[in-house]
Amino acid sequence: MKSTKEKHPRRGRALRIVLVSLALLIVLYAAFCLRNIWKIRDPAESSSGSGKTEGKAAGSVVSDTIPETAAGTAGPDIPAPSEGTAVNGDGKFRIRYELGDAADVFTDRPPEAGAGETVEIRTCVICDADIHVYVNGQEINKSHYDSDYWGYTFVMPESEVLVTAKFYTKEEVWGLVPLNQAALKKKYPEYFDLPTGKGLELYVWQMGPNSYSFGLLPGTNRIKTTDEIWQLKGASAEEMRGILSSYDMTRSEVLIIPWQNPISSYLADYFIVGVNEDSESVAARRQAYVDKIREMLFASPDAAP
């Protein structure tokens, strides 16, 4: 009598094939799981088949090493942004400083700020002189007088800014040193020898209650662009009087235009409208403001600049 093994040889081989196939499937599944775990642990390598990072986006910054945080050494220098470009993509803009001999007296110099934020720069208190601080050529007024420090504030525009400074002696502060026409022309060359066929346009803005700055453009039959006005370099009232004296014109030929400088946190009376204030009252108050500015720059109603 034949054994069961001899009666069904095919059934035994089929069973062995099934077991081997099942074992292979288990091995393949285990290998697949291990591969996915490796991808999670090393995403940079999994992004390409060769184990190297590829496909960097155009304009992106990729470092081969991880910069150390504040707990260690500072990371690599970030290239200076161009005007109008946010630093690090966080909505903040760089504040550059060119302070020359005045650098030592500046105790607090914020490196960046977001658009619309109020920035305060601080200096030591100097008894025998004064410091004038300028942002993009516009003088900013002292916002803090104290025995410990002086503070200068401005509102950050949507671009990087340049902060400069200049020392003034007591004699210069009080106007005891006569203005030199040649020095004025060297400092404000763009305000001299302008065409006067259609008069002159004198822009005035305030950086504080008693801080007035002036810029000059030739008269035209069109409204000046924002860029044209923004490029104006702020001159003091005394400096503008000296500039206007170089022109053979009467005061009526100079159109005074109040302007709200975007970097100024101070709102001049000209731009304030009271609650329920009627239009006639607003017009009268604005005219009084313009008349006040005119008196600052011209000696008498009939006098030439």
pLDDT band at 24 (very low <50, low <70, confident <90, very high): confident
* Pick from 15-29, 56-70, 180-194: least confident: 56-70
Q: Are 253 and 197 found together in one domain?
A: yes
- Residue 250 falls within a domain, yes or no? yes
pLDDT band at 191 (very low <50, low <70, confident <90, very high): very high
Residue 123 belongs to a domain with what CATH number? 2.60.40
Give the CA distances from residue 99 to residues 164, 235, 265, in Å, rounded to whole numbers and listed in that order: 5, 19, 23
- Residue 235 falls within a domain, yes or no? yes
Share the mean pLDDT of the chain: 76
pLDDT band at 71 (very low <50, low <70, confident <90, very high): very low
Check pLDDT > 60 for residue 120: yes
* pLDDT at residue 221 in the model: 86
What is the spatial distance between Cα 154 and Cα 158, in angstroms, rounded to a whole number? 13
Cα three-residue angle 74-77-82, rounded to 5 degrees: 145
- pLDDT tens per residue, range 248-264: 888 889 999 999 988 88
pLDDT band at 211 (very low <50, low <70, confident <90, very high): confident
* pLDDT at residue 169 in the model: 67
Check pLDDT > 80 for residue 299: no
This prediction's pTM:
0.50
- Residue 257 falls within a domain, yes or no? yes
Check pLDDT > 60 for residue 75: no
* pLDDT at residue 18 in the model: 75
What is the spatial distance between Cα 158 and Cα 145, in angstroms, rounded to a whole number? 28
Check pLDDT > 50 for residue 273: yes
Which of 115, 150, 170 is a domain's end point? 170
Domain that holds residue 113: 92-170
Check pLDDT > 80 for residue 8: no
Q: Alpha-carbon torsion 73, 76, 77, 81, what sign? A: negative
Q: Are 237 and 273 found together in one domain?
A: yes
- Residue 1 falls within a domain, yes or no? no
Of 221 and 127, the structure prediction assigns the larger pLDDT to: 221
> What DSSP assignment string belongs to 50-99?
TSS---PPTT----SSPPP-TTSS--PPPPPPPTT--BTTTTEEEEEEE-
pLDDT band at 298 (very low <50, low <70, confident <90, very high): confident
Which of 145, 170, 195 is a domain's end point? 170
Q: Are 108 and 156 found together in one domain?
A: yes
What is the mean pLDDT of the segment spanning 82-102? 75
> If we measure between CA atoms, which residue out of 214, 194, 291 comes closest to residue 252?
291
Q: Are 151 and 188 found together in one domain?
A: no
What is the spatial distance between Cα 208 and Cα 210, in angstroms, rounded to a whole number? 6
Q: Are 159 and 193 found together in one domain?
A: no
Share of the chain above pLDDT 90, in %: 33
Q: Are 158 and 126 found together in one domain?
A: yes
